[in-house]
């Protein structure tokens, strides 16, 4: 099993996603002889998972059923164990595009955190690219190494435990892109420039506060970066609902009634289509935004090494 080389069959040792619904799913490590409890009953790994195809509909012990999905960076972002605040698909998608990443690209990242962005970067640069990711916290770095190994991508990533602001990324003049998600990114701009290739390399810095953005932009200018641009990506979700509205009674003027020969007092006109239309309701589909919307997450500052 690999996050970048998809297989058809569930095997012992795989990481799989148990899908109960769009708002309910979780990862599970498939192991012979193990069982997993769900609200629909027990899933027995030996008989219900191993040997089945990914995407299979599995019936649980209580009669309910779930789907077993192959893990992807998108699904992992939604289900990973949080060691830090993570980046979600809304920001990840614009980062991979604006950094101009493709298969074969070399990317430097700091910090690794929970590995949400890391998995997406690895999938983007595979099979010939490489990710150099730096994590200040030793336990988080060790956990990231373990996850990359379990997910079959350890050959595409190098995890380093050090302070990027003091020691840099450990590489020089080879990176196509650098990503910074640290409290003081302006202190690492010099090391980012050293890691990037001779010219044309791209850099991105993620910061939640505009004061951090201001200091980072000044540092980028100082080190000769150009095309400095800051974006904020906001996601607004709509629910599609059936709405019932009463048709407004616009009335008729006396002149309209007399000219059309319509007599509202005449009993023969009480059941006319016009009378029913004005007193009825109409149903239609409408997009309604959620009452609570996730607002600001962070600013993305991009620049180019000239």
Tell me if 133 sits within 8 A of 157, measured CB to CB.
Answer: yes
The answer to the question of whether 114 is labelled as a binding residue is yes
Q: What CA–CA distance (Å, rounded) separates 137 from 306?
A: 32
Residue 305 Cα distances to 157, 192, 200, 203, 224, angstroms: 23, 10, 5, 8, 7
Q: At what angle do helices 116-125 and 138-150 cross, to 10 degrees?
A: 40
Is 75 known to sit in a ligand binding site? no
Residue 116 marked ligand-binding? yes
Closest CA to 65 of 39, 40, 102: 40
The answer to whether 115 is a known ligand-binding residue is: yes
Q: Determine whether the annotation assigns residue 131 to a binding site.
A: no
Query: Annotated binding site for S-adenosyl-L-methionine: which residue ranges?
Result: 114-117, 135, 163, 181
Feature table: binding site: 114-117, 135, 163, 181
């Amino acid at each position: 099993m690999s996050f970048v080389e998809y297989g058809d069959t569930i095997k012992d040792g795989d990481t799989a996603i148990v899908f109960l619904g769009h708002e309910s799913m979780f990862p599970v490590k498939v192991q012979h002889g193990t069982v997993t409890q769900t609200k629909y009953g027990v899933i027995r790994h030996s008989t219900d998972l191993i040997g089945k195809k990914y995407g299979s509909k599995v019936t649980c012990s209580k009669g309910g059923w779930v789907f077993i999905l192959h893990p992807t960076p998108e699904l992992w972002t939604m289900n990973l164990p949080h060691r830090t605040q993570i980046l979600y698909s809304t920001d990840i998608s614009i980062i991979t595009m604006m950094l101009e990443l493709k298969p074969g690209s070399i990317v430097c990242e700091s910090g690794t955190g929970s590995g949400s962005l890391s998995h997406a970067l690895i999938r983007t640069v595979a099979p010939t690219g490489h990710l150099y990711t730096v994590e200040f916290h030793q336990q988080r770095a060790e956990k990231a190494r373990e996850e990359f190994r379990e997910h079959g991508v350890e050959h595409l990533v190098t995890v380093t435990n050090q302070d990027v602001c003091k020691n840099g990324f450990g590489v020089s003049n080879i990176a196509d892109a650098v990503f910074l998600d640290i409290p003081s990114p302006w202190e690492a701009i010099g090391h980012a420039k050293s890691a990037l290739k001779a010219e044309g390399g791209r850099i991105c810095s993620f910061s939640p506060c505009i004061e951090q953005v201001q200091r980072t932009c000044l540092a980028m200018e100082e080190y000769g970066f150009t095309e400095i641009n800051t974006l904020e990506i906001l996601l607004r979700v709509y629910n599609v609902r059936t709405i019932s509205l009463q048709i407004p009674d616009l009335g008729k003027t006396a002149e309209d009634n007399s000219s059309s020969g319509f007599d509202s007092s005449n009993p023969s006109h009480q059941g006319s289509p016009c009378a029913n239309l004005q007193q009825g309701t109409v149903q239609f589909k409408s997009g309604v935004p959620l009452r609570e919307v996730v607002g600001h997450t962070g600013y993305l500052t991009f620049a180019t090494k000239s």
